[in-house]
Amino acid sequence: MSTVIVNSSVLLLRGAHTSPTLSLSRARRACIFKYDAFHLTNMLAELLVRDLAIVLIIAAVVAYIFHRLQQPIVLGYIIAGVIIGPYTPPFSYISQPDIFSSLAELGVILLLFGIGLSFPMKKLLSLGRVSLVVASVEIASMILFSIIAGRLLGWSLTDSLFLGVALASSSTAIIGKCMTDFGKLGESSCDIMLGVLIVEDLAVVVMLTGLQAFYSAGTLSLVDILILVGKILLFLGGSMLIGWKVVLPFIESVRREGMEILVIMAVGLCFAFSIVAYVLGFSVAIGAFIAGVILASWKSVDELVTGTLPLRDVFGAIFFVSVGALMDVTKIWEYLLPVLAITVTMLAGKVIGCSFGTMVSGFNRMTSLRVGLGMAQIGEFAFIVVKAGTDLDVLTAPLFSIVGVVAIITTFLTPYLIKYSYSLGKGS
């Protein structure tokens, strides 16, 4: 009531022409609006806390069961997501899916940042040639295999091209999590995969830009492609230069102020690089990974790895639960034939393309096979590519649903394929 009186007094003093009754009514409405906004904010906060409690408790229970059964923990998180998701009866356990998705995005950023911390800049630069070779062979294989599969299914060339570009990239988050859980970070096959993933994502951005330009304007603008390539070089080159000249000296000075400030500053830099990547048209995951790579060259990087591990574990779990929550398993039977065809196409193209590319680069057959089997899943970029084709209204096949179901299948297969590849023999 005091707020109403104060506000109405202020309104009355503004001029003699203002009606006291009208001013008081406006003040009351303003007071009621503020109360409703405050009440709504508190309600949303309570719902978010409830959602997080449900997600983390169910994820922990299912992950514990999978761990006891000696199965990949990442699959436990995904199964937990399927359980609480909107496509599993009787109802969805999540009341704030938009906020939940935002938290999941934080999980991707922190997960890739953590992987980058174990991937020094010198190692990334040393793998530049093999990453380009493997990614080039793999992308060409996927587009060729997709065109063949599309023709057999009776699809148009446009559908097949968009499918090929969608399947060209693998999942950085899934591969990174599996490699971390299996303790394979630092092995040559894992290093090759991480390098190839970066090249894949950048290549998909370029190809998607070309497809959008061609199907929207009817022509392919070389200028637009050159501008995009320039952005890529500017981002990578600028990130490395800023990392060497600014970030590493600065982080060393921050270290003297204590561990808490060090971790906050490192995570802040991670988000900063993610935002820059997003503004330039790339994925936030690339920016986070590059930030980790830069800090991995710091002599006391082990302190950062230890300090950021709890954050990565919690938000990483939320991300994989969100992956499971978005899986509509009921679509599997609806598109069974094309789903099986595209799944076989994707597995064959990835394994053959990545294995052959790695072998051509001078690595042995075991390492090549591990790279091929590890890369055999659909990446997050696939849905962006298919959505772009849908927005352009050039697709005739139900690619979004088909790609979604294939993503479900290959996500479940990935941990077992990686585990199998490392059981074939020792050595890298």
Dist. CA 285–CA 288, nearest whole Å: 5
The answer to the question of residue 40 being in a domain is: no
What local confidence, expressed as pLDDT, does residue 293 receive?
Answer: 85
Q: What is the mean pLDDT of residues 31-44?
A: 58
Of 28-42, 137-151, 244-258, 274-288, least confident by mean pLDDT is 28-42
CA 330/CA 344 separation, integer angstroms: 20
344 within domain boundaries: yes
Residue 79 lies in a domain: no
Give the rounded distance of the alpha carbon of 396 from its chain centre. 27
266-302 pLDDT, tens digit per residue, is 889 999 998 988 888 777 878 888 888 888 888 778 8
Q: By the 8 A CB rule, do 248 and 294 touch?
A: yes
**SS3 track for 251-317:** HHHHHCCCHHHHHHHHHHHHHHHHHHHHHCCCCHHHHHHHHHHHHHCCCCHHHHHHHHHHHHHHHHH
Give the residue, 215 or 348, on which the prediction is more confident.
348
What are the tens digits of pLDDT across the range 314-354? 888 888 888 777 777 777 777 889 999 999 999 999 999 99
Which domain covers residue 155, as residue numbers? Answer: 106-423
Q: How many separate domains does the chain show? A: 1
Comparing 230 with 269, which gets the higher pLDDT?
269
* The pLDDT of residue 6: 39
Question: Looking at 38-47, 211-220, 363-372, 414-423, which range is the least confident one?
Answer: 38-47
376 and 347 in contact (C-beta within 8 Å)?
Answer: yes
CATH of the domain at 409: 1.20.1530.20
333 within domain boundaries = yes
Supply the mean pLDDT for the chain.
Answer: 80
DSSP annotation string for 146-171: HHHHHHHTT--HHHHHHHHHHHTS--
Instruction: Answer whether residue 26 is part of any domain.
Output: no
Mean pLDDT of 407-412: 85
Separation CA 179–CA 199 (nearest Å): 19
Q: How confident is the model at residue 182 (pLDDT cuts 50, 70, 90)?
A: confident
Structure tokens at 375: 């890369």
The answer to whether 324 touches 407, Cβ cutoff 8 Å, is no
Q: Is 155 a domain residue? A: yes
Residue the block writes with tokens 């406006």: 26
The answer to whether 84 and 101 have CB atoms below 8 angstroms apart is: no
Give the model's confidence band at 24: pLDDT under 50 very low, under 70 low, under 90 confident, else very high.
low
39-55: average pLDDT? 73
Longest dimension (CA), the chain: 90
pLDDT score for 139: 94
Q: Does residue 94 sit within a domain? A: no
Whether residue 407 has pLDDT greater than 60: yes
Q: Is residue 140 part of a domain?
A: yes
DSSP string, 346-360: HHHHHHHHHHHHHHH
| Per-residue model confidence as pLDDT tens digits over 239-273 | 888 888 888 888 888 877 778 888 888 889 999 99
Q: Please, which pLDDT band fits residue 29 given cuts at 50, 70 and 90?
A: low
What's residue 152's pLDDT?
Answer: 92
